[in-house]
Chains A and B, each alone.
Chain A
Amino acid sequence: MSDRAASTEPGFQFADAAQAREVSTLGMWAFLATEVLFFGALIATYFNYRIWYGDELIAAAGHTKIVLGTINTAVLLTSSACMAMAVWSQESKARRAACLWLAATAALGLLFVAIKSYEYLLEYREHLVPALDFDGARYGGATELFFTWYFCATGLHALHLLIGIGFVLFAAIAIARDRLPDGLSIRILGLYWHFVDIVWIFLFPLIYLAGRNG
């Protein structure tokens, strides 16, 4: 008598649903660990240049838009709160609430991207975009290096955010139609979303809070 499902069924390698759930949670955390090091390489780049350049790099950071950056941080933190509510609603089987909270999460994510795009536009107009008519005469020292890093870091973050928004919207619509696929767990999606938030929590002080005094 075989105590395992046929090898053609999904999930056959698991003994039960609880094991499958633990496995997918660990899998997502392992993936997030890789993302910590992926973004971490950018963070390490920043720190080392900050040590190496000192005040020049800090002054370069003063050209970023702190008001927009702070608003954006508030937006993303709120989106995380909405996502937490969505996970809680989903697990309480409150379908409508889950759908609405997910929609709110996605909306705030899109708001972040919109504000970020506006920031990029402002920076373009001020000739702060490297390789795109960067004004080397006006901005000396480490400004170009800083802004190269800035566009890489925020660009990569925005890409991750857009992917998250895509999944969240898909989930919201699927829940509305009561056709959420078995393989898509809102809780696991939440882990990814919160992680993208945490990346921003660390990028925010490095980008916006330096060079604001004196």
Chain B
Amino acid sequence: MVLKVWLALFALLALTTTMAFVQLGSANLAIALAIAVAKAVLVLWFFMELKGSAGLTRAFAAAGFFWLLILIALTWADYSQRRDVRVPVTISSPRSP
């Protein structure tokens, strides 16, 4: 079983890297993230044994990701709607003291 999951993970890695070189505009990010989620789910379900775990354990596992989505979604509500005028960056960070 571990072998099968490992092969699946490798296949997904090959897929995601190849897809990066195909120009699909904004779909590139969506596809890359979808593949990342698939890999993560494989690791969570099989390697981290969520498959055989109690509902409570799965709830704990899901909670962090769900809450992160709240942070990303509500900040997206700001950044996607802003029409800022940015001053071009013309200076670089000062050298270390």
Q: Do chains A and B touch in the complex (CB under 8 A)?
A: yes
Which A residues fall within an 8 A CB radius of B? Answer: 22, 25-26, 29-30, 32-37, 40-41, 43-44, 47-48, 50-52, 66, 70, 73-74, 77-78, 80-81, 83-85, 88, 130-134, 136, 140-142, 144, 187, 190-191, 194-195, 197-198, 201-202, 204-205, 208-210, 212-214
Interchain CB contact under 8 A, B6 and A213: no
| A143 to B: closest C-beta gap in Å | 9
| B21 to A: closest C-beta gap in Å | 5
Chain B residues whose C-beta falls within 8 Å of the C-beta of A33 in the assembled complex: 60-61, 63-64, 67
Interchain CB contact under 8 A, A204 and B36: yes
Chain A residues whose C-beta falls within 8 Å of the C-beta of B33 in the assembled complex: 205
Chain B: CB-nearest residue to A50 = B29
Interchain CB contact under 8 A, B48 and A190: yes
Interchain CB contact under 8 A, A35 and B64: yes
Interchain CB contact under 8 A, B68 and A43: yes
Interchain CB contact under 8 A, B46 and A84: yes
Q: Could you tell me the distance between the alpha carbons of A144 and B5 in the complex, rounded to whole angstroms?
A: 38
Chain B residues whose C-beta falls within 8 Å of the C-beta of A48 in the assembled complex: 75-76, 79
Interchain CB contact under 8 A, B47 and A52: no
| B16 to A: closest C-beta gap in Å | 6
Chain A residues whose C-beta falls within 8 Å of the C-beta of B9 in the assembled complex: 77, 80-81
In the complex, the 5 A-B pairs of residues with the closest C-beta atoms, listed nearest first: A136-B92, A36-B64, A33-B64, A205-B32, A40-B68
Q: Which of B45-97 contact A (CB under 8 A)?
A: 46-49, 53-54, 56-57, 60-61, 63-65, 67-68, 71-72, 75-76, 79-80, 82, 84, 89, 91-93, 95-96
Q: Which of A35, A140, A144 contacts B93 (CB 8 A)?
A: A144
Given the known interface contacts A74-B13, A80-B43, A198-B43, the answer about A44 and B93 at a Cβ–Cβ threshold of 8 Å is: no
Pairs A–B under 8 Å by Cβ, sample size 23: A25-B53, A29-B61, A30-B60, A35-B64, A36-B64, A40-B68, A44-B71, A47-B72, A47-B75, A77-B6, A77-B10, A83-B47, A84-B5, A84-B46, A84-B47, A133-B95, A136-B92, A142-B89, A190-B48, A201-B39, A204-B36, A209-B32, A213-B20
